[in-house]
Amino acid sequence: MKTKYTIFRILLSLLFILTVNGVKAQSNAKAEEQMQKYEYFEAIETYHQLFKKQPATSKEIRNITYCYMQINDTKSAVEWLEKLLSTNEATGEDIMIYADLLKSEGRYSEANVQYENYKTLVPAETEIAEKKIQALEKAISWTNEPEFFVIKNEEKFNSEKSDFGLIPFGENFYITSDRIPKNKSSIKNNMYGWTGNPYLNLYEIKMKNSNVEEINYITDINDSFHNGPGVLDENNNIIYFTKTKAVKQNQKTSNPDPTSWFKDYDGDIYTNRLEIYSAKYIDGKWDEINPFEHNNSNLYSTGHPALSPDGNILYFVSDMPGGIGSTDIYYCEKQNDGTWGAPQNAGNIINTKGKEVFPFVDKNAVLYFSSDGHLGMGGLDLFKSKGSKSSWSKPENLKYPINSPKDDFSIYVVETDSIGYFSSNRYGGLGSDDIYSFVYTPPVPTHLTLVVNTYERMDDGTIVALADVDVHYHINGESNTTSIEESSPGIYITTLDCNANYLVNGTKEGYFTQAYSFETVCETMNDTVYAQLILDKIVINKPIVIENIYYDFDKWDIRPDAAIELDKIVDILVENPSIIIELGSHTDSRGSDKYNQTLSQKRAESAVQYIIDNGIVKARITAKGYGETVLVNKCSNGVECTDEEHQLNRRTEFKVTGFSKEQPVIYSVQD
């Protein structure tokens, strides 16, 4: 009996093992079949039930990781892939996908380690890994130095599900969402196996006083499968929007996420293809719903429509044969009969080997789009480019905080570079995808930088740096001054307040003081004012011509134009309180010597009196009429000269003749 019982136990154990393995095989086959049907959410549930009975194999770990990636649950995908990397069965491809997932989670330093590991394991693809490391460095830099945008989750538009594709419709908005419709009686047949949520539909958000009054399912447009996003041609009351169609075909590689781990499955299967439709708004409802003439869902998808400002160019996304990458941006031009011309690829400046999706053209014809092929921060990043059709500037990443490690897409720009909306599945939202607003809000500058360079003017007119100058400034109208320290020979740097009028002075013994006045107008945080102070050396008895001093014929009254120049002499005397000057007046040789002498003396005295009347002490200035005794050229009595040559002799000069005893300075003397 004991032997028979032992045999029975062995047979029972074998039967149990075969049964468990059979159940496991059935469960695994069911999960893979669900994956073939794009029912990733359901496949995940099947795998979890399977793993309760037996540990996951390497293949099953890859499968469930892939499923999580397809529903954009990158956090769970990372957790499962870490289990694979803890074994010795991880491949180079596993490590690359793991690094990409870490990047999409914002774990940049960890991602960098894995890209370096990938370079070691797969040396042939070092260049690819290096580009990804470069992207990490950019992402870190952008995060540390964010652009001046305020990002706000627009909770009034969002639900616990996916919400994106905001577009204006009059005073209201349209969005695309897989929320549960309030005005549909049943959603039993409206669930999408890929995500486990309802199908995407277009909704109208009715606004009142900037608040959401109600959100309504748009019955006219939506049908039983995915609908949206769209774009409005406001000039013609037409909406162009995306519909999804299930097409029976031999399966090709799907393209919803940045990896293709698995071999294609053979056999007929329904796959999802996008198509573009249009509808016209007539009498308060959408009518005349027509397919885009270039739809061809048996071969490829067309979706994500966008319009040029004049409505004559339709941009869209497609994976049609002959493209550059996984999905490209294409365009069609409107023909005279209202139809759309043949699709044209927007070119390799915009399109990459990756995915370009969700184009939008703002009112200034700037193209915005999302891409995972251009250098970015993680998943899909938002970019902008200027141009049209297939001619574009190099796309510019919108950087952080508009972009994030997650997917950022479906932008609507109200004002170029400053105000708009976009969608993102970044952490902290209400649902899987949320609508966010962005507003350019640069910090208000309160200070700017002043850089003063001091120079000495040489005899030949050139200038050289002059060190050890006393440079100080004050707000015009105030007496208190502030000195500026010399940063390096002849360079003085300080910070000033915005929106004020300043006067900067440079003084040095033996040199005329120089001043520079200006207003500080601040526009950015890095505004700088540059001032040059060119100091002339004081040389005793060296004449300095005062330009543009004119008198009426046979008169010595100070004309208004002469007063402007004499005011400059007043400023020199105020800025250089120690100098004593002589103001000399000269005539040409025409007229008698005595007449010219008398006239020049009266003009000199008139000029001196003007200066005294403007606050200069009389003892600091004397008048000297030289008549025609100090000519600067050959034009003496009896010599024939032109008016221009005579004009050179009719001049007013000043020269420093000494210094007050109270304020001695070092100076030179001209022989």
Residue 558 near residue 610, CB atoms below 8 Å: yes
pLDDT band with cut points at 50, 70 and 90 for residue 373: very high
Q: What pLDDT score was predicted for residue 261? A: 38
Peptide bond into 305 cis (omega under 30): no
- End-to-end CA gap in the chain: 141
Mean pLDDT in residue range 129-156: 95
User: 451-477 as b/e, with b when 16 or more CB fall inside 10 Å?
Assistant: ebbbbbbeeeeeeeebeebebbbebee
pLDDT digits (tens, 9 = 90+) for 528-573: 999 999 999 988 998 888 877 766 656 777 878 778 889 888 988 9
Is the confidence at residue 400, as pLDDT, over 90?
yes
Mean pLDDT in residue range 628-634: 92
Nearest one of 328, 267, 271 to 299, comparing CA atoms:
271
Residues 6+ apart with CB under 8 A from 284: none
Mean pLDDT in residue range 93-119: 95
Mean pLDDT in residue range 105-112: 95
pLDDT digits (tens, 9 = 90+) for 431-457: 889 999 999 998 888 999 999 999 999
Mean pLDDT in residue range 108-126: 95
Is the confidence at residue 269, as pLDDT, over 70?
no
Phi and psi at residue 307, to the nearest 5°? -125, 145
pLDDT digits (tens, 9 = 90+) for 11-32: 333 333 333 344 445 667 888 8
Nearest one of 37, 34, 38, 36 to 49, comparing CA atoms:
34
pLDDT band with cut points at 50, 70 and 90 for residue 227: very high
Q: What pLDDT score was predicted for residue 184? A: 59
- State the Cα–Cα distance between residues 175 and 193, nearest whole angstrom: 22
Q: Return the SS3 of 344.
A: strand
Residue 479 DSSP class: -
- The DSSP-derived string for 250-289 is E-----SSS---SPPPPSEEEEEEEEEEEEEEETTEEEEE
- State the Cα–Cα distance between residues 193 and 182, nearest whole angstrom: 21
Q: Could you give the domains of the chain?
A: 2-144 (1.25.40.10), 149-257+266-440 (2.120.10.30), 447-535 (2.60.40.1120), 540-669 (3.30.1330.60)
- State the Cα–Cα distance between residues 249 and 273, nearest whole angstrom: 11
Nearest one of 444, 370, 434 to 403, comparing CA atoms:
370
Helix pair 40-51, 2-36: axis angle to 10 deg: 160
- The DSSP-derived string for 504-526 is EEEE-TTB--EEEEEE----STT
Region class of 316: left (phi > 0), else alpha (psi between -120 and 50), else beta: beta
Is the confidence at residue 418, as pLDDT, over 70?
yes
User: 67-79 as b/e, with b when 16 or more CB fall inside 10 Å?
Assistant: bbbbbbbbeebbe
- State the Cα–Cα distance between residues 419 and 438, nearest whole angstrom: 6
Residue 17 DSSP class: H
pLDDT digits (tens, 9 = 90+) for 48-68: 999 998 899 999 999 999 999
- State the Cα–Cα distance between residues 438 and 595, nearest whole angstrom: 80
Nearest one of 322, 318, 339 to 330, comparing CA atoms:
318
Q: Return the SS3 of 3.
A: helix
Burial of 537 (0-12, 13-18, 19+ CB in 10 A): middle
* Residue listed under structure tokens 């349209």: 174
* Residue listed under structure tokens 């890929």: 194
Q: What pLDDT score was predicted for residue 21? A: 44
Helix pair 58-70, 74-85: axis angle to 10 deg: 160
Nearest one of 313, 314, 241 to 280, comparing CA atoms:
241
Q: What does the CA dihedral 406, 411, 416, 420 come to, rounded to 10 degrees?
A: -90
Q: What pLDDT score was predicted for residue 550? A: 66
